[in-house]
Amino acid sequence: MAESRQAIKNRIRSVESTEKITRVMQLIASTELTRQRKHMEENREYAKGLSELLDFAVQSSQNRSIYLKEEVDKPTFLFVFTSDMGLCGSYNANILRLLNQTITDKDYLVMVGSKGCTWANGRNISCANQLMDLNHDIAYDSLSAIVNTALMKFENGDIGKIQVLYTHFKNTLTYIPTLETVLPVAKKEKEKEEVASKAKQITDYEPGQEQMLGMVIPMAIKSLVYSRYLESKTSEQANRRMAMEAATDNADELRDELMLVYNQARQSAITNEIIDIVGGANALS
């Protein structure tokens, strides 16, 4: 019984040690979530303004721009955002499951995050680019360089569209794996005629409408891809915080259960010792 109690005690110590680790990781994830969310929200206003400018230009166009035409039989240039670290719940699994349903052999795949790169390499899936350990100082420049390559392929007719597979951050409890087409640019049907009419009345394009689209669209695509990167990083930290919170709660619950078992074993041992003492005293008398 003493050995059994000691084994239970060792398990309790192990669980308590694990709980300390997961609690610290939960606090770190909470701090990172606050930081990532700040970056995301700071970028949002700029991205929103650029998106509105793009919508305005597209609504007033005459569908002649190559950026508005999709070639359905051509390959897709696909950005996929995963994490570099684990312990973030189902974050990577959800993205990679959607990717597995989407990708074809002829697509150009840009995998961002070591987890996605490992997944692709393990399945012998060829990647046009692999980016790992990005930080905010180099992320925009690194992604912009690849966007330039994608735009060149689109303009040359090598690909039919550019898509981004990312995790949409709705709130701290809800994150949705999302596949978004960023090129060709789609016209929004709502209020299309009104916007186009207004554009014709107040807009004078210099040097020309198509040239303006050619300048605005690359800027907007780079901004959008970077925005989705920031959104994915925020979702990653939110997932990690929730995963560590759940792990801490589970460890706390398991420790309480083991303490109950330990106390029951200890009480049983004490009772048996008392019975032995009483039995010995009765035998002597």
For residue 179, what is the domain's CATH number? Answer: 3.40.1380.10
| Whether residue 119 sits in one domain with residue 95 | yes
- Indicate the number of domains in the chain: 2
Evaluate whether residue 283 is within a structural domain: no
Residues 180, 260 within the same domain: no
Mean pLDDT over residues 81-93, rounded? 90
Burial class for 71, CB neighbours closer than 10 Å (0-12, 13-18, 19+): middle
285 domain residue, yes or no? no
Q: What is the pLDDT of residue 247?
A: 92
Selection from 82, 228, 251 nearest residue 168 by Cα: 228
Q: Are residues 237 and 255 in the same domain?
A: no
Summarize pLDDT for 96-122 with one digit per residue, the tens.
999 999 888 888 999 998 898 889 888
d(CA 137, CA 143): 12
Q: Which phi and psi angles does 186 have, rounded to 5°?
A: -95, 140
Tell me, yes or no, whether 31 and 164 share the same domain: yes
pLDDT tens, position by position, 174-194 = 889 999 988 887 766 554 455
Residue 271 sits in which domain range? 2-14+244-278
Confidence of residue 63 (pLDDT cuts 50, 70, 90): low
Q: In this structure, are 62 and 169 located in the same domain?
A: yes
Chain CA centroid to CA 187, Å: 28
* Cβ contact 234:37 at 8 Å: yes
Is the pTM here over 0.85, yes or no?
A: no
Quote the radius of gyration of the chain (alpha carbons, Å): 29
- The answer to whether residues 98 and 10 belong to one domain is no
Please check whether residue 197 lies inside any domain of the structure.
yes
Most confident of 41-50, 78-87, 132-141, 209-218: 78-87
Do 65 and 43 lie in one domain? The reply is yes
Residues 262 and 219 in one domain: no
pLDDT at 81 over 90: yes
